[in-house]
């Protein structure tokens, strides 16, 4: 009986862990497009099926820990980047491992972009696409284990 219980618990943990890894929910390192260095740590959470993400650490060597979003034009104007919600409103697309419909803010220029999040490589990486009128760029973030 104990062997079955341990096996069942192990299987449940494996299945739960695999499911959790196939979502954008978790802690991520954003990577600088030019230098390929880690820029920041972002934590993405699920609030009733809607994803939000906050900057929890600024990791570049030259990062100003007290930086504010002086170019933002919404409620984040002049607020600290550290702790800032940069992902808002993304929802899972039915039948796909893609989250869309939200916005992502680039605190360096204050602009918000239409967002698409796609976990890749069994959830070890996250393709983060920001676009305006279909034109944009995709960054690949790495999951923090």
CATH number, domain of 28, equals 2.40.128.520
Residue 35 or 8, more confident: 35
pLDDT band per the 50, 70, 90 thresholds, residue 9 = very low
Kindly tell me if the per-residue pLDDT of 69 is higher than 80: yes
Kindly tell me if the per-residue pLDDT of 14 is higher than 70: no
Please state, for a pLDDT cut of 90, what percent of the chain lies above it: 77
Kindly tell me if the per-residue pLDDT of 10 is higher than 80: no
Domain hosting residue 87, numbered range:
2-143
pLDDT at 21: 59
pLDDT band per the 50, 70, 90 thresholds, residue 33 = confident
Query: What's the total number of domains in the chain?
Result: 1
pLDDT at 11: 38
Q: What is the pTM of this model?
A: 0.84
Q: Which of 4-8, 46-50, 120-124 has the lowest mean pLDDT?
A: 4-8
Instruction: Report DSSP letters for 33-73, one per residue.
Output: TTT--EEEEEEEEEETTEEEEEEEEE-STT--TT-B-TT--
* Dihedral (Cα; 22, 24, 27, 32), 10-degree rounding: 110
């Amino acid at each position: 009986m104990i062997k079955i219980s341990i096996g069942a618990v192990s299987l449940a943990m494996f299945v739960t862990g695999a499911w959790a890894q196939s979502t954008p929910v978790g802690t991520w390192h954003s990577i600088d497009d030019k230098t390929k260095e880690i820029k920041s740590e972002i934590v993405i959470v699920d609030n009733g099926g809607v994803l939000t993400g906050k900057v929890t650490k600024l990791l570049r060597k030259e990062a100003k820990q007290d930086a504010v979003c002086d170019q933002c034009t919404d409620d984040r104007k002049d607020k600290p980047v550290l702790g800032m919600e940069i992902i808002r409103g993304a929802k899972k697309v039915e039948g796909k491992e893609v989250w869309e419909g939200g916005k992502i803010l680039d605190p360096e220029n204050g602009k918000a972009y239409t967002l698409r999040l796609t976990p890749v490589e069994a959830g070890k990486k996250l393709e983060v696409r920001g676009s305006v009128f279909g034109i944009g760029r995709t960054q690949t973030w790495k999951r923090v284990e």
